[in-house]
Structure 1
Amino acid sequence: MRLLSLLCLLLSLPPAYGGAPVYIGFDAEISHRTSTSDEAIALGLELAVAEINASGGVLGGRPLQLIIKDNRSVPARGIENIEDFAAQPDLVAVFCGKFSPVVLEQLETIHRLGIPLLDPWAAADNIVDNGHQPNYVFRLSLRDSWAMPVMLNHLRRKGIRRIGVLLPNTAWGRSSLQALEAVRDQAPEVTRIRWYNWGDQSMLEHYRALLDTGAEGIVLVANEMEGSILVRELATLPEHQRLPIASHWGISGGDFPAMTGPALQQVDLAVVQTYSFHTPSRPQPATRLLAALKEHHGITSAGQIASPVGLAHAYDLTHILARAINLAGSTDRAKIRDALEQVRDYSGLIKHWPRPFSHDNHEALAPADVFMARYRHDGALVHVEQAQ
């Protein structure tokens, strides 16, 4: 079922019991034709909301209810959506989608209106490191400054000493460059950096420019569209010209195996991830969620979950938010912002958190949660060690 029809169904359902709803907003790239990250985040939200409501809701019996808006990957539209969400009574927080450039442009509005922004995907460091006090952004996701060392270490372990870097000419690309500069002394030699534009129809010229500098591997920061173009083009080259690629996780925000086809297995590509249903650190909640996905959505195996990190992050972040609402004792957004820093002892899908957030730390994950994964022949994303 496509996300839009699923969301229409969710929004048409009446509350299961009495009490005025407490609303959660979700602003994402709903109409983006290749994105699956929005669907994964929505699914994580839905699963968590269903569990919370079945257990009595929040604030003594009020059900959580989702309101979804499409920013069309356009920052101006995203800002308008935040303003609309802020005008909704009893809306306590907004979840964002995967596009860092949209979220970065929303930050001023988020803080001016005092509405908590919960980030289950977008990775630019400055989303959280935004300079605002109090800070209304809370992230359970990756940071570019965590992704870059993991990608570089992956290439280094393969014996690669010289790398080329492909970056999008966006705020996300500039954030990734800052992350690279921060660890450049410990990185393989960077032979050249090439900038491309979203919407480019070919990546081959950029790739050849890096190949010509003597690069032995590639660091790729890309979403599914440009990443799939590169992989398909590389598969047409002689095997000795297909350099190993360490990719940021943007490519996993779409159905990358379908978009690349057989070419994916002809290229040495690994991608950053933060969670795997194939090797969960907490098997019991993973098994429970897989059973719910099978019963309600026809998903019969972990390999069928598109953009699994989006689902996992949104699921845990929703449960943390529900605890914060109850700690705040109201739908007052400033009180909920403060309460998010006070949540304790949450055992989630991803791991157990003694304290997900604090006054000094609005990042629920840590560098140790980041690993490299590969796409198996069946399209499943697994740890690189499992794919050998």
Structure 2
Amino acid sequence: MLNLIFPRPGRIFARFAAGFVIAALGIAGTDLRAEPTPVRIGLDAEFGLDRSTSAQAIELGLRTAIGEINRAGGVLGGRPLELVTRDHRSIPARGIRNVEEFARMPDLVAVFGGRFSPVVIEELPTLKATKTLFLAVWSSADGIVDNGMTPNYVYRLSLRDSLAMPKLLGTARKRGLPRVGLLLTNTSWGRSNLAAAEKFTDRNKDVKIVQTAWYNWRDQTLVAQYQALRNAGAQAIVLVANDDEAAVLVREVAALPEAQRIPILSHWGVTGGEFTAQAGPALRQVDFSVIQTFSFFKANRAQLARFMANLALVSPIRRIEDIHGPVGVAHAYDLMHILAKAINLAGSTDRKKVRDAMEKVREHRGLVKNYVPAFTPARHEALGVNELLIARYRADGVLVPTGE
């Protein structure tokens, strides 16, 4: 009698299923492979603040750089960068909550900050406690980087007040206006600038601060403070303000008799919002200048062409005249590229390793400058006096360098 031995049905099915999976994998090739996990970058800024354009400028610079980096293969051998944004509306408590949320996100290596120094100052204890790498591309208060952290998790590619005040006061002196009045916002940013101004005049006795006047955020008039400074003998006003209050001042000064209008040299907060629209025709009646660290009109041609080509892939902007908040765009673009190099040097998304690697990026040829290097263990500031310039608004509202 012939004995026929058949495998159990379960074994037949298992073998069939295994063969099917193997065949399917062979046919599909790489289609069934998991997509690389993104490396996340945070942006904590003032998106919801009325008439502000600074957060949008920073985001534009970041998205331009991120698109460029991702098209070149991403970081860490093929992982794409992903931008995650949060709105603090210029309110420190919201910023602190945003930082706490970012700190809990897996594979988030760093947080970029917005325009407002007072928000960042209040966030510093949370950044320290969570060991969150923070990159400042607009806020300028000295204490943001000079924060006492060891190690320091804050890096800045931006202006700092101890550079801004000497430039503004020195420009007044060169114009033959050595008697200056300070008109400052009553915040940590304003106090940072007062300290920088007093330090400068202590060393430069030919420039005199005749008086300091203060105003509060959202004040609806500043003309009384302006007149007090002028009556104290000020030949020029050095203004520390954002777009709203600066526009109020410009409209009020333009309404004065021409003999009472003295030049205004402004910090750069005014460039982070709809200043020219708010000031209106009055701006053409006032001698108004503003400090900058960068102008697309002075950019290296090759770097500018590269930037504009990548900008066109994420934005409808085709002319440099249409770029709002140019310093925010350019700073964010350059610092994102430097961060990507640091991530690759670290070989990891571990924030401590990336923090350390930020000090080891030896060179980056950027839009603002050639960084050789951007940062060192002793210096977490990427920009210096050589990048400072003075600009004015043209009749069409475009900010252009004066050559000063």
In the alignment, structure 1 segments of 5+ residues that lack a partner are: 1-16
Contact 2:183 2:225 in 1 (8 A): yes
**Aligned-pair identity (%):** 54
Which of structures 1 and 2 has the bigger CA Rg? Answer: 2
Contact 1:255 1:306 in 2 (8 A): no
Q: Mean Cα displacement is larger for which, 375-384 or 40-49?
A: 375-384
Alignment correspondent of 1:339? 357
Cα shift at 1:345: 1.6
Q: Mean Cα displacement is larger for which, 251-260 or 92-101?
A: 251-260
Corresponding residue to 1:184 among 201, 225, 246: 201
Corresponding residue to 1:120 among 137, 144, 151: 137
Query: Take 1:147 and 1:80, find their aligned partners in 2: how far apart are those partners?
Result: 30
In the alignment, structure 2 segments of 5+ residues that lack a partner are: 1-33
Cα shift at 1:285: 1.6
Corresponding residue to 1:102 among 106, 119, 122: 119
Alignment correspondent of 1:5? none
Query: Take 2:284 and 2:297, find their aligned partners in 1: how far apart are those partners?
Result: 20
Corresponding residue to 1:266 among 285, 288, 306: 285
Alignment correspondent of 2:226? 207
Contact 2:63 2:314 in 1 (8 A): no
Query: Take 1:240 and 1:164, find their aligned partners in 2: how far apart are those partners?
Result: 17
Normalized against structure 1, the TM-score is what?
A: 0.93
SS in structure 2 opposite 1:67? strand
Alignment correspondent of 1:11? none
* Distance change >3 Å, CA 354–CA 385, structure 1 → 2: closer
Query: Take 1:352 and 1:199, find their aligned partners in 2: how far apart are those partners?
Result: 39
Please list every run of at least 4 consecutive aligned residues from structure 1 whose deviation after the TM superposition is greater than 3 angstroms. Answer: 291-296
Q: Which amino acid aligns with 1:260?
A: A
Corresponding residue to 1:311 among 326, 329, 345: 329
Query: Take 2:129 and 2:184, find their aligned partners in 1: how far apart are those partners?
Result: 31
Alignment correspondent of 1:370? 388
SS in structure 1 opposite 2:79? coil
User: Which string of whole-angstrom CA distances, capped at 9 and with x for unpartnered residues, describes residues 141-179 of structure 1?
Assistant: 000000001101111111112111100100000000110
Cα shift at 1:295: 5.6
Alignment correspondent of 2:105? 88
Query: Take 1:230 and 1:113, find their aligned partners in 2: how far apart are those partners?
Result: 41
Q: Which amino acid aligns with 2:278?
A: M
SS in structure 2 opposite 1:278? helix
1:236 to 2:255 alignment: yes
Query: Take 1:289 and 1:375, find their aligned partners in 2: how far apart are those partners?
Result: 23
Correspondences of 1:47-86 after superposition (within 5 Å): 47-86=64-103
* Distance change >3 Å, CA 241–CA 259, structure 1 → 2: same
* Distance change >3 Å, CA 295–CA 55, structure 1 → 2: closer
Query: Take 2:247 and 2:195, find their aligned partners in 1: how far apart are those partners?
Result: 25
Corresponding residue to 2:39 among 22, 32, 51: 22
1:111 to 2:125 alignment: no
Alignment correspondent of 1:3? none
Q: Mean Cα displacement is larger for which, 169-178 or 184-193?
A: 184-193
Query: Take 1:268 and 1:169, find their aligned partners in 2: how far apart are those partners?
Result: 24
Contact 1:316 1:350 in 2 (8 A): yes
Alignment correspondent of 1:12? none
Query: Take 1:383 and 1:204, find their aligned partners in 2: how far apart are those partners?
Result: 28
Provide the alpha-carbon RMSD of the alignment. Answer: 1.3
Query: Take 2:92 and 2:173, find their aligned partners in 1: how far apart are those partners?
Result: 37
SS in structure 2 opposite 1:290? helix
Query: Take 1:47 and 1:256, find their aligned partners in 2: how far apart are those partners?
Result: 25
Corresponding residue to 2:276 among 249, 257, 278: 257
